[in-house]
Structure 1
Amino acid sequence: MSEKKIIIFTGSSLSIEEASQILKADYRPPVKRNDILKAINESPDIIGIIDGVFHQSPAVGHKEIMKAMEKGIILVGGASMGALRASELDSLGMKGIGYVYNEYSKRNIESDDDVALTFDAATGEPYSEALVNIDYKLKKAVESNIINEEEKNEIIDVAKSIYYPNRTYYNILKKSKLDEYKKVKLIDFIVTIVNIKKQDAVDVLEYIKEIK
């Protein structure tokens, strides 16, 4: 049996270096408009979309993903742009994986702002934090009695008020009404919780590994 050709678009959720340790594939930077059309010409068996650009240049289009699926290419998405597009196109055959995909599917989140962040174009290292990740970690903090539900909602409102490139825990907590003791306790807790976008990215690769 010949080796299947797999193309994966990733970056800020999971670095190409980390991803390549999980699955052998043709790894490319975050997907943008027309990248899928170009990939179709290479006749891949599977395309995985993890990360994509939102505001830096036009985002990957629905029609190009649909065209890939019409050609018989398996499309799998999760974590970030992949989760958003999978939630919009799952009824047409795109496979969605993970927590972020499920949040979009349930309409708990609806905007690309929920997964948007800024990152180093060369390394993929994030400069800011995605709102979906902040919300996930704060939910865990409530479950662990670090903060209460009211405090969580206040912090989320602050996070939403900050333009996504500046959305860091430092900037959020600086504007939050949380007392200093709880801020320190919360930060100490947050660093122990998994980055849910990264976990979803790993799950996308593990899923593709199973079906390839």
Structure 2
Amino acid sequence: MKNAIVFVGPSLDTEKARNVLEADYRPPAKKGDLIRLIMSLDDRETVVGLIDGYFLLDYPPTPIEVYQLIVRNNTIVIGSSSIGALRAVELEKFGMIGIGKIFELFKYGKLDADDEVAVTFSQDLYQLQSEAMVDIRYNLYLSLRKGVIDKETKYAITKVAKNIYFPFRTYQNIVEETIKRFPKLDDKARRFEAYIVDNRKSLKERDALKLIEYIRDMV
């Protein structure tokens, strides 16, 4: 049986992950973590899932670190959702496996900036303190499809959100700034704000679950 290790934090609650797969769940990865992992592994086949990493309070694992893990014997490296998706795009040609929609969006050039997946989170429970731009886009898409907002409002909120530095991207800040810049959209922006309270979805979480399911089917 393969050994499964997953670096995850704000993208997916570990209890949800454990409902799918019992594995060695570790905190979001930072620079040096993968080198230490390489040094600690034995000869067993190991599957490493890279989902979350640090962007602000520490440095994320570098492509070189991930590459060193990829080329290690008996090791499979899979990425999704956040830093895992970014590194998978960079290192797919060396054997890293990318999973999910976010990986595909970066791979095919639909998204190209790291801040699309960057968030801030609490250091104890890894609870979100800001929203990922990719999830904001996803929720705007869903709210447009459901008729909550129109295309003009979607465009305005997207533009405003993208111009906010990622640690300060909360729906409250985004809506308030949208109303300041586009006063005529006050009611529509407020409608989106009310909608998101009970209807917030996460593409990062969805992709993280896909990664966990992929590993489950491997081990």
Q: Which of 116-125 and 17-26 deviates more?
A: 17-26
Which amino acid in the other structure matches residue 51 of structure 2? Answer: I
Q: Which ranges in structure 2 are unaligned for 5 or more consecutive residues?
A: none
Question: Partners of 2:57 and 2:11 in 1: how far apart?
Answer: 17
1:5 Cα shift?
Answer: 1.2
Unaligned runs of 5+ in 1: none
Pairing of 1:146-185 with structure 2 (within 5 A): 146-176=148-178, 177=182, 179-185=185-191
1:58 aligned partner: 59
Q: Which residue of 2 aligns with 1:41?
A: 39
Aligned-pair CA distance for 1:71: 1.1
The structural deviation recorded for 1:154 is 1.2
Cα deviation, 1:149-207, whole Å, max 9, x if unaligned, reads 23212111111221111100100000112634323332343332521111111111000
Mapped contact 2:153–2:188 kept (Cα < 8 A): no
Candidates 113, 122, 145, aligned match of 1:111: 113
Match of 1:141 in 2: 143
1:134-156 C-alpha deviation (Å, 9 max, x unpaired)? 01111122222322223212111
Q: How many Å apart are 1:82 and its aligned residue?
A: 0.6
Question: How do 1:80-99 residues align onto structure 2 when only pairs under 5 Å count?
Answer: 80-99=82-101
My pick for the range that moved more, 49-58 or 140-149, is 140-149
TM-score under structure 2 normalisation? 0.90
**Residue range with higher mean Cα deviation, 39-48 or 157-166:** 39-48
Query: In structure 2, the residue corresponding to 1:127 is in which secondary structure?
Result: coil
Q: Which residue of 2 aligns with 1:186?
A: 192
Q: Percent identity?
A: 36
Question: 1:204 matched to which residue of 2?
Answer: 211
Equivalent residue of 2:31, what SS?
Answer: coil
Partner of 1:107: helix, strand, or coil? coil
Could you list the structure 1 runs, at least 4 aligned residues long, displaced by more than 4 angstroms after superposition: none
Instruction: Name the counterpart of 1:68.
Output: 69
| Alignment partners' CA distance in 2, 1:42 and 1:184 | 51
Aligned residues: 210
Contact 2:79/2:88 (<8 A) preserved: yes
In structure 2, C-alpha distance between the alignment counterparts of 1:137 and 1:57, rounded to whole Å: 28
1:20 aligns with 18
Asked if the contact 2:81/2:204 (under 8 Å) is kept, the reply is yes
Distance (whole Å) between structure 1 residues aligned to residue 128 and residue 214 of structure 2: 24
Q: Following the alignment from structure 2 to structure 1, what is the Cα–Cα distance between the partners of residues 200 and 55?
A: 26
Q: Is the 8 A contact 1:54 1:112 kept in 2?
A: no
Deviation digits for residues 41-90 of structure 1 (CA, Å, limit 9, x no counterpart): 23261110010011222220111211111113100110111111111111
Moved more, 16-25 or 106-115: 16-25
Using the alignment, how far apart are the partners of 1:17 and 1:193 within structure 2? 19
Q: Higher mean Cα deviation, 72-81 or 54-63? A: 54-63
Separation (CA, whole Å) in 1 of partners of 2:193 and 2:156 = 16
RMSD between superposed Cα atoms in Å: 1.5
